[in-house]
Structure 1
Amino acid sequence: MSEQHDSSCQCGHEHAEEKPTVRHISVSEPSKAPADVHIAANYLKDPSKSGMKQRYGVFNGKRFEYFKGKSAINALLKENYAKNTAKGRRAIATREEAHQLLLELGINGFILHVDRGESSGGKGTPKVLKPNQLQAINEDWYYMWIWEGSQIKLYIGAAALVATVLAAVMFPLWPAFLRLGVWYLSVGVLGLLGVFFGIAIIRLILFVITMFAVPPGIWLFPNLFEDVGIVDSFIPFWGWEEPKKKKSRTGTEAATVGEQSASEVVAEAAGEAAGEKED
């Protein structure tokens, strides 16, 4: 009995010392990824090419872009993938091939499988993203971009910003002809703004006068504030004020009115029939 008790104690002690295994996610550097994987990543990350909806979530207090697996697979199967990508792309003909390419994006450190939680700060705010230990591809799961994409545009923009600031700071050191040119340019821009505001004031005064003299009133440059091109904003030179169109009744309202009129007709007919019986 004592031996059995000792063995059971030892077994229980061993089970107590066992720790749950933790599955670590190991991914490679995106810079070491094959060329075809890079091409697919650039395509999917550009919404103008892939047509994927841009979604933003919050992870560790920072905003990250994420997408649904089904959207990425559908984007890889579109004709745009063949048209808007380089020649070194991988041909994708089936959903299984698209699944495999997405899996390689995860292995090479481009995307990460995440669980989408509640909104971070209430309604309308980005949702909280939490990494999932199971890194696999499923059309109903969500994936977060941990690859920031090409940084060339960012570097060019930063360099241009620094150059602009330095040029502004060193303005007193500019040659005389450059400073004179900037002065003329600034005066010209201010003059154009003055002309624009002058036209806006004159057209308003003209409209107020003509609204009482020759209703409904005349607008000078009626398309000045419309969503058109610069040239079209000044065409035509003048035009009459267009009266606001009355909103037509919706289908539901029209149907309601029709039902009411029909019920009134039925009620009148019933009343006439009752009157005839009384007579």
Structure 2
Amino acid sequence: MSEAVPQGNPQTALAVASLLRHDKLLKQRLGLFQSRTTEFFRYKRFVRALQSPKYLKKSNNQPDLYPSATNESQARLIFITLIKSQIVIPVKKLHSNELKENDLSPNKDYPHLLMSKQAQLTPDEYYVWNYNPKSLWDYATVVAVVAGILALVCYPLWPVSMRKGSYYVSLAALVFLGAFFTIAIIRLILFLTSLIFVSGGKTQGFWIFPNLFEDCGILESFKPLYGFGEQDSYSYIKKQKRMKKRQAKKAKLNEKK
């Protein structure tokens, strides 16, 4: 006979959440919940994660913290514990026609999520995390900030060589910022000029570094060297990839039918 999961046990809830918070089996996506981006997943995905070898190994070694989840009813009890501890929150993914009813504006990148009044624990029901454990990177960032503040406070005690080094580093940073703003102004002037002199409607304006202000990496911001309109921008290419994926999914569904 299997042991029942202690309902609302905070230690069990935190242990399970810490183990599965970023598990690949959840296939988490980003959505907008209460005006902020957060990861959400389906209930059935969490059940699969609870029945994975990763969780089974933990459950065998520490059954007090990681209760058995070999069947649906056991997994259900564990998930109820997470809900009662408010580590996960049931939500509903809003469709375009439901956004106006909730005074929300459409977002092209992330779906809007609304808190559900009651958890149904159905396979395709959505949940968001209300738990974000601190990572090593977070602790390293705090240590770096504190060290930086202490270093600035102790600046009068620095040796002459270190002061000279900090001067050159500051000078290089100012040169970099100056070059960045110069490029931004030049690319804007070229863009406006191209709108005036380019005719025929074949282009939407000439850009140098079309990804300069896009939400991408530093190196990607300077690739390609130039482009026309939005077709060479990172966001446009990303949008096209999402559309192709959706079309591929629809095609698969049609084939199954």
Q: Compute the TM-score of the two structures, normalised by the length of structure 1.
A: 0.46
Larger-Rg structure: 1
Q: Which structure would you say has the larger RCO, counting Cα contacts within 8 Å and 6 or more residues apart?
A: 2
TM-score (norm 2): 0.49
